[in-house]
Chain A
Amino acid sequence: MKFFELVRIAILNLLNRKSRSFFTIFAIAIGMAFVIILLSIGYGLERLVQEQTVGLDALRSIDVDSEQSAVLLLNSDSVNKIKQLEGVETIIPQINCVGKLKLGGSVLDITVLVMDNNYLKYSYKSLVAGKSFAELSSPNLIVNEIIPNILGTKNEDVNNFIGQKAELEIIFPTNIIKSEDGLAIQTRKKDLTIESVVTDRKNQKESPTAYLFFDSLPELNNPSYSKVKVLLSDQERLTEVRAKIEAMGYTTSSAFDTLEQIQTVFTTFRIILMVIGFVGVTIAILGMFNTLTISLLDRMREIGIMKALGTRNSSVFILFFIESITISLLGSILGIILSFVLGFILEKSFQIIALGRGVSPVSFYYTPPYIVFYIILIGLFIGLITGFYPAIRAHKLKPLDALRYE
């Protein structure tokens, strides 16, 4: 018998028992939807945590420092060497030091970050008040919002902070600037105007910090940098470039390390969710197995006449497999659709609740496309395992025994 005819008979058999077929398919669909929803929540949360913690750009950057070494300096020569490595797009050096900010009669102990022009663009800073990052110029000062807060400026009045004159005393560590007169510590005083106030999106516990460009300190002559951020053109080159920089003797760190840790945690989390999800699928499988076995018993005489008329055992065997695979595949497809609908409803509901409470809505639900493919494969597998027993039994059935079955 042609395969197409077997498929036709299988589908007609399923349609002949519409309710039974529908409920079996629906049970599989619910099980599959449950698995997809749980997995999508796992993937969505992982993606959310990654974005919040690491950020997408961070995946192609390497932080280089030489703070552990007094001999190996991170200066413009070494920066140039690193810049020549294949795959390096931009180098963003910085100097971290401390200082005193005199502003309006107050003196604050602050962190001072002397930065490259590109620093703010690739950092997690966002503008609170003042000039945009593109408009900023030397020799002026940028402060974080902690400073106006400490000085009693309310958030709504922070614009008034812009344009204020301040005196900044920068205290450079010895490994940054070597003194001519042998003094261990070098200081520089600058009179500056505050141009912008920024906030750090990632670090809510930042200390009061002032930022100024290298151009504001022309007297710095080939300083040693505290840290250099190396930006790559391609994330794929990260491991290779990092190895080369470390071979030069520098210490490196990357958000990739954090990312790997996050991935490890969430992989375990997803496995747990999947196991929970598959409990539901297992129940659906047992129901489907039961339905197929009952269907076999229901159709014993029918199988008998088919064989008596000349249907081969193999055709009967394939017929039952076609039925079981049809049920499981339809259930999987319906489950995928159901998961998208329910996932959409779930996420939107949470977002509405979040907005209602004045919290920024976040996306925590993400279904990677390959999940759909795997669910279809699992559906196929379920069809094969549940159909096997009834198919084998139908195959072995003697026509006369089947015809005599009551």
Chain B
Amino acid sequence: MMKTTKSLTSNLDLKKKRELHSIKVKKKHHSTVVIKVNHLEKSFQVSNNKIPILKDISFKVYSKDFLIIFGPSGCGKSTLLNVILGLEEPDSGEVILRDTKTYSLNESERADIRAKRLGVVYQQPTWIRSLSVLDNVAYPLILTGESRRNAINQALRRLEEMGLSKFRNYAPTELSGGQQQKVSLARALVKNPWTLFLDEPTGNLDSKSEEEIIKMLTEINRKGKRTIVMVTHNYSFLLRANRVLHLLDGEVKGIHESIHEIQQFLRNQLMPEV
């Protein structure tokens, strides 16, 4: 009887814990919405055919989220990211960054928002080849009109955080893939963006570099309280996120907003037959 009571109690405790956790997550969801995507549609014209890539996508990103947009290759993840970044105009729907409707702005204004507020890291690091590592990292600040001196100081600080300050005068292409991606991350973070966007940042890296990057991102999110939106098809990253948006064939199949849900989703993905 006591044993049963104890197990009941422990079950109840577990249930309560889950409920409490769920409440906590829901409470967390009442924090600031930094990105709102409403009924986004996007298609591409290929020869005479119109191929739908995004179909009625709606979701929100909250402050301090680590949101992973997950899905197989070709499901529209990168397109979704580029639409949010203001690089790809949707056919319909809207993207609202804080209180600004992105596509009510002209191209220059969207560029300004990217320059001042958003950080981006792509799978393939791309550089301004005439600039050194330090100058490349400082570039986003130079872009916003920051003085060269301040920009260089801040860039150097970011490189030091990454442990790469000794490579500051190198050409970026002289670094390894993992080092380049870290420099890319430093460049994205140098201006203290509202949100950091990453498109398959570890896609070209070995497992060690991959682990280093994801660890950095986790720290940036947890300790640095930075909002992160990351596109990936890599399962092993899912548990690092606090929210997962599952995309399939251009549609949102589910948004998993707790560890439990994410774990469940992961189990379903890895062992669908169970």
Contact = CB atoms under 8 A, between A and B. Distances in A.
Contact of A302 (B108, B116, B129): B129
Nearest to A315: B143
B116 A310 contact: yes
A357 interface: no
A312 B142 contact: no
B122 A5 contact: no
Interface stretch (A10-18, A115-123, A337-345): A10-18
Q: Among B111, B120, B122, B131, find the residue whose CB has the most chain A CB atoms closer than 10 A.
A: B111
Interface stretch (B5-13, B81-89, B233-241, B251-259): B81-89
A299 to B, nearest CB: 8
A301 interface: yes
Nearest to B113: A310
Interface string A362-406: 000000000000000000000000000000000000111001000
A308 B84 CA distance: 12
A1 B130 contact: no
Contacts of B122: 305, 308, 403
Interface in B188-210: none
A309 B142 contact: no
Interface residues of B, number: 30
Contacts of B145: 1-2
B91 interface: no
A130 interface: no
A309 B115 contact: yes
Contacts of A314: 108
A307 interface: yes
A311 interface: yes
B126 interface: yes
A interface secondary structure, majority: helix
A310 B148 contact: no
Interface residues of A, number: 26
A311 B126 contact: no
Nearest to B146: A2
Nearest to B148: A5
A309 B140 contact: yes
A137 B145 CA distance: 85
Contacts of A311: 111, 115, 143
A306 B128 contact: yes
A99 interface: no
A306 B145 CA distance: 15
Interface string B42-81: 0000000000000000000000000000000000000000
Contacts of B115: 309-311
B112 A13 contact: no
B19 interface: no
Given A12-B131, A311-B115, A301 B126 contact: yes
A207 B174 CA distance: 87
Nearest to A302: B128
Given A304-B126, A310-B111, A313-B107, A400 B116 contact: no
10 contacts: A5-B148, A12-B130, A12-B131, A305-B126, A308-B120, A310-B112, A310-B114, A310-B115, A310-B116, A310-B144
Given A16-B129, A308-B114, A400-B87, 4 more contacts: A310-B112, A310-B113, A399-B87, A400-B88
Q: List the 7 closest A-B pairs by CB distance, nearest first.
A: A310-B115, A310-B114, A12-B130, A305-B126, A16-B130, A13-B130, A312-B111
Interface of B: 82, 85, 87-88, 107-108, 111-116, 118, 120, 122, 124, 126-131, 139-140, 142-145, 148, 187
